[in-house]
Structure 1
């Protein structure tokens, strides 16, 4: 008879998990006993935060969760930041951890890796956090996690297994196959929404990350309505490149807000209408005066940030299909003309915060047109959130939205590259953010992933430096010396190159696809010339 830890592996495979990110420790070693024969791929990061970011990038690129095996105590507090980012952006992630023996929990005896209450500590960055009390409860707890991943607003799920439960004998546990469907909107609600949209003269769509899995239906709906569409950062690519109705992420800018203000019916699909997508100026200036129809898979989200006139608790794809079946043939509402007028007013590529990076971003796309670009919080990423266009969803994501952590780009890009090995992946990072998780370059080399790591080196925390200057705050703690990244790459048996022109960047990116491991490309910001 196998033990609980070994049965866990069987159940993970049965639920479709194929990749585990984790660092073995004395408290998780039992999880590794059967791992070599389980069929699961294991990747060892250099830090637990890296494990979480890798699982995040894997999920965003593939649409399915990965698992993390994390030791109790410091392992869990290390991964908490990555879980916070995933929770903010609705990214599925299964975190399996150890915890001390059941008879010692909460007693404060100073045991190895002890926290006063590990489960409660992690509950704040989880959809739910559960302590497994018996092996027999394992199938039910895992089924609960996957039901959320498939039918509710996803996020990290944490399951901790006490040290005395892991080795307990556990009978063969064959999970019952359950087909889980997300909620669907009632017929009356769909009819009501369709009537409003059919009668609208100036409709507007707000597309969020919840549209990524239903891009075909959402695109058809946008075209049927002939309506402008604003896409959040996590919805980039839902309408493809150069779509005449796509305004991108402009809700924080005056021309975008003007368009939204005059819309008579607004359909918000799978978006929380949150600050980092709609109010980057932090002035509360995004207002909707028309009727607002909200569609979300999370009931609580339907009442946050903007009050809806009609709220549908349902899957975005199902609603889009339902509306298409009820709306008349394509109306003519001058949608493309409205978008063109707004784009002219926005003049994004000429904006002060965007123009310095426009040629740089063009070079990335020209060199690797099919690439997934995974970003950290750095100047080119902020600019790309406004102007980068993607051919499909799940091709542009970063930590400059939601939780807004640093250190995300490199490990998340590695996770994406492992999830979609057939597609080029670019990690777009700043020199400051890269130092948070630089050790994961060694992980990428060990995985032999041809990952392009593009560093925008502006000698410190450039965005914070600029903000300090704007607020007339003396620069302190933002001008930081960086290592010699090229030499550092070579020390890790990676290829490193320093570039300052578009032609050199293009050549390095093209060559990265044939490399036996990651290619580190340092762009000297002060010398850059497209």
Structure 2
């Protein structure tokens, strides 16, 4: 008996187009209006990683995009499912992570009015995303699907990279198609080279500078410009500080490294004293400018792919360009100078910073962070939630050959664990570390099921201090007493075990040993550290110790 060929539908065009564009993995969560796409996904060669909450699926896609440098598709349904991704997409936007969020829509007959009575109907779903993502794309007919996906893909990758939103109505996903399968799609982002005259002028400024300093941001890491940055710093004999988002842009223990102590007035003074400060891949936002207390006294040159960030906080010579292209041009244009006193100045600055930190009685915090560094393999990435230990890591953690990722761009809770799952999906050959507080952990506790289902090599360190530790500190300092910060929480070890995930309760003395064992074991694991950690005292104002 002859079986007639199966009729393809709009969902097949979605999956075929993503495959043709180079996708390998899709994150998401199904819903009624998106079932046409999920049916096609089931029959495709794409890997699917389904998380338990759409926001966590967005965090996983964000991390996958960060570690691979490629577009990460995120497939969700309409209304509540779509809206649940907004916090994750805000973080992806802040971190310039190219997430392609594909959401379904109510049938085309229900679009625009908001009163048709369809399940999950919104008057204008796209409007919820326009202030969050780079671009919004719509499909209203099957034939539009491949081109719309190609345009969204290119937009996500084009510097500055970032998340995009594309929506397709339910009836379009289910509509039959007779065109041949999609096999070829072009979605090449436009390059963003610097203007040659600006590179020439900057090279002259740096050549003549007596105290050049470089501040490297996340744009250096995203463009893969670490070698170019190092070459330029060594040619100039210029010290390099990295922003929290730029950790890993420059070797931590290099003689010219100022590391990442940006919440320290000694570092702020050092940057202000440069006669030419080259800022690469940073918008000099709140955290990178020591809470907007930074006041450069010399000439500032800013290389930035995001046009809106050029001179947004400080006047200077703005160069709208990809970091790697601009740094490469400067390496070729700047004459080498002999080594001078820059390395000595960098060492003196770090000594002053360490003296200040060591005078605050924070041995426990430094011991815990050192234990994490000891346990984590050099090439393993780590993903940090908004928790006190992460605040320490921003300034004090050496990422080595791995990379440190956090939610400090948008600052939402719950990032660490689902992001680590996304990174582990991209590379299962090395362990991945997630770090959360007990408050942030509750945002993503359901993803223990995802970790177990996909057997992902993620170790989750939960620092349990019984509440929102950072907010407790902020409120106590500001008002003398905290409110709304104390939390009932589960027995995390027993809860992890109920998901079939091995877990252990540790101490600061055993942390390195227990964390090393967990990271070395296959599959997911949880390490719980009951501890009340404190933040080091920031120094925003001149003259503060």
Relative to the length of structure 1, the TM-score reads 0.94
| Matching residue of 1:505 | 511
Quote the residue 1:145 is aligned against.
Answer: 152
Confirm or deny that 1:62 pairs with 2:68: yes
Contact 1:194 1:326 in 2 (8 A): yes
The 5-angstrom pairing of residues 281-320 of structure 1 reads 282=291, 284-308=292-316, 310-320=317-327
- Counterpart of 1:525? 531
Q: Does 1:229 align with 2:253?
A: no
* Farther-moved stretch of structure 1 (175-184 vs 100-109): 175-184
Return 5+ residue gaps in structure 1 as ranges: none
2:257 to 246, 258, 283: 246
Question: Partners in 2 of 1:89 and 1:46 — Cα distance?
Answer: 23
Match of 1:397? Answer: 405
Please state if 1:158 is matched with 2:169.
Answer: no
Q: Distance in 1 between matches of 2:235 and 2:176?
A: 58
Aligned residues: 521
- Which region of structure 1 is more displaced relative to structure 2, 412-421 or 174-183? 174-183
Shift of 1:181: 4.4
Gaps of 5+ in 2: 1-6, 535-545
Aligned residue number for residue 345 of structure 2: 338
1:64-107 C-alpha deviation (Å, 9 max, x unpaired): 22111101000111111101111112111010010112221122
> Which piece of structure 1 moves more, 252-261 or 433-442?
252-261
Match of 2:420 among 408, 413, 417: 413
Query: What are the superposed Cα offsets for residues 44-63 of structure 1, whole Å, 9 maximum, x if unpaired?
Result: 11100110011111122222
Cα distance, 1:12–1:441 mapped onto 2, change above 3 Å: same
Residues 510/474 of structure 1: CA separation in 2 closer, same or farther (3 Å cut): closer
Partner residue in 1 for 2:208: 199
* Farther-moved stretch of structure 1 (233-242 vs 133-142): 133-142
CA contact (8 A) 1:182 1:297 kept: no
Give the Cα separation in 1 of the matches to 2:289 and 2:449. 37
Distance (whole Å) between structure 2 residues aligned to residue 274 and residue 230 of structure 1:
15
Following the alignment from structure 1 to structure 2, what is the Cα–Cα distance between the partners of residues 496 and 179? Answer: 45
Q: Kindly tell me: are residues 339 and 99 of structure 1, through their superposed partners in 2, closer, same or farther at Cα, counting changes over 3 Å?
A: same
Is this contact kept in 2: 1:201–1:333, CA < 8 A? no
Q: Does the 8 Å contact 1:120/1:129 carry over to 2?
A: no
Residues 155-205 of structure 1, C-alpha deviation per residue, up to 9 Å, x if partnerless? Answer: 111100011211224423444435444211122111111110111111111
| Alpha-carbon offset, residue 499 of structure 1 | 0.6
Q: CA deviation at 1:209?
A: 0.7
2:382 is the alignment partner of 1:388:
no
CA distance in 1, matches of 2:420, 2:35: 27
- Give the Cα separation in 2 of the matches to 1:227 and 1:476: 46
2:372 paired residue number: 364
Structure 1 distance, partners of 2:532, 2:9, is 58
Contact 2:135-2:155 at 8 Å conserved across structures:
no
Which residue of structure 2 lines up, in the alignment, with residue 71 of structure 1?
77
CA gap of 1:202–1:451, structure 2 versus 1, over 3 A, is same
1:447 is matched with 454
Conserved 8 A contact 1:227-1:333: no
Residues 1-42 of structure 1 show CA distances to partners (whole Å, capped at 9, x for unaligned) of 632211111111121211111111211110122223321110
Give 1:149 deviation, angstroms: 3.3
Partner residue, 1:135: 142
Q: Quote the offset at 1:490 in angstroms.
A: 0.8
Provide the rounded CA distance (Å) in 1 between the counterparts of 2:517 and 2:345. Answer: 41
Judged with a 3 Å threshold, the aligned counterparts in structure 2 of structure 1 residues 305 and 526 are, in CA distance, closer, same or farther, namely closer
Mapping of residues 45-194 of structure 1, within 5 Å: 45-107=51-113, 108-170=115-177, 171-172=179-180, 173-177=182-186, 179-194=188-203
Equivalent position of 1:463 in the other structure: 470
- Secondary structure in structure 2 of the residue aligned to 1:366: helix
> CA contact under 8 A between 2:33 and 2:169: conserved in structure 1?
no
Q: CA shift at 1:136, angstroms?
A: 2.2
Cα 1:48–1:353 change in 2 (3 A) is: farther
The 1:415–1:255 alpha-carbon spacing in structure 2 relative to 1, beyond 3 Å, is: same
Q: Secondary structure at the match of 2:253?
A: coil
- For residues 320-346 of structure 1, give each alpha carbon's deviation from its aligned partner in whole angstroms, at most 9, with x where no partner exists: 111111111244342211211211222
In structure 2, relative to structure 1, the CA distance for the partners of 1:195 and 1:527 (3 Å cut) is closer
Give the aligned partner of residue 275 of structure 2.
Answer: 264
Q: Which residue number corresponds to residue 477 of structure 1?
A: 484
Q: Cα RMSD over matched residues?
A: 1.9
> What's 1:376 paired with?
385
**Separation in structure 2 between the aligned mates of residue 86 and residue 527 of structure 1, nearest angstrom:** 28
String of CA shifts for 1:381-412, please: whole Å, max 9, x gaps.
101111101223x610111x221000111101
Structure 1, 299-308 or 44-53: larger mean CA deviation: 299-308
TM-superposed deviation, 1:472: 2.4
| TM-score where L is the length of structure 2 | 0.92
